[in-house]
Amino acid sequence: MAKYYPILLNIQDKKCLVVGGGNVAWRKVCSLKEAGARVTVVSPEFCPEMERETGIERIQQKYEEGFLNGAWVVVASTDDEEVNKKIYYDATKRSILVNVVDRPEFCSFIVPATVSRGDLSISISTGGASPALARNIRENLEKQFGEEYGEFAKLLSETRRKILSEVSDESVRRDILQRIAGLDMLEVVKEKGISEAKKKILEIISEKIRKEK
């Protein structure tokens, strides 16, 4: 079994091709759209969910290699094994990342189970050995990591820009960033809300800046 290199891929405004029109293909389309991709779906037929999906290009016909032109990522999710294999070999020949759903031996990448909380993303993979185990771990993590983690990540992102522009000393910047990302600050978010956490973070920054001067 292949040893996978974990990676997060920027597909913003990139063409991603999904071949297949069923519910599984539709879920893949939704994930790609959420990541900002330009999604093209090719299939002779589409499920009702795919028909209703907005912001995608639907091409109602059988797969042809030419549909790969310009694609960064390809997902094959048809019920025809031979078509799925052809998509894999066509994409591999063109050095395009390809995933054949539920067939890791015909994938240049696999999609991990993921917990998403705003900008925070936690991915779990067993390298294709046991998707069920990855799913169970994901469900457990979803209980541990609530929506406040997404709010906290957004606050830290905003604060980081402020620190980089206002604090010149690299060691001081590093100290502030480490301090405000502490779990004690997360507890403030959980118990008193994001506004109180922002107030405390600004106090920490101001204190560090005064000391720097």
Alpha carbon dihedral 126, 131, 136, 139, in 10-degree steps, equals 100
- Identify whether residues 20 and 107 lie together within a single domain: yes
For residues 126 and 173, membership in a common domain is answered with: no
pLDDT digits (tens, 9 = 90+) for 104-130: 899 999 999 999 999 999 999 998 888
Residues 193 and 154 occupy one common structural domain: yes
Nearest to 98 by CA among 56, 67, 140: 67
Domain residues for the domain of 198 are 148-212
Q: What CATH number should be reported for the domain holding residue 133?
A: 3.30.160
Q: Is the domain of 93 the same as that of 122?
A: no
Q: Tokens standing for 66?
A: 């030419």
* pTM for the full predicted model: 0.84
Q: Could you list the pLDDT tens digit for every one of the 213 residues in the chain?
A: 678 899 999 999 999 999 999 999 999 999 999 999 999 999 999 999 999 999 999 999 999 999 999 999 999 999 999 999 999 999 999 999 999 999 989 999 999 999 999 999 999 999 888 889 999 999 999 999 999 999 999 999 999 998 888 888 888 889 999 999 988 888 998 899 999 999 999 888 888 777 766
| Domain presence at residue 71 | yes
Q: Is 92 exposed, middle or buried (0-12, 13-18, 19+ CB in 10 A)?
A: middle
Phi and psi, residue 58, nearest 5°: -105, 130
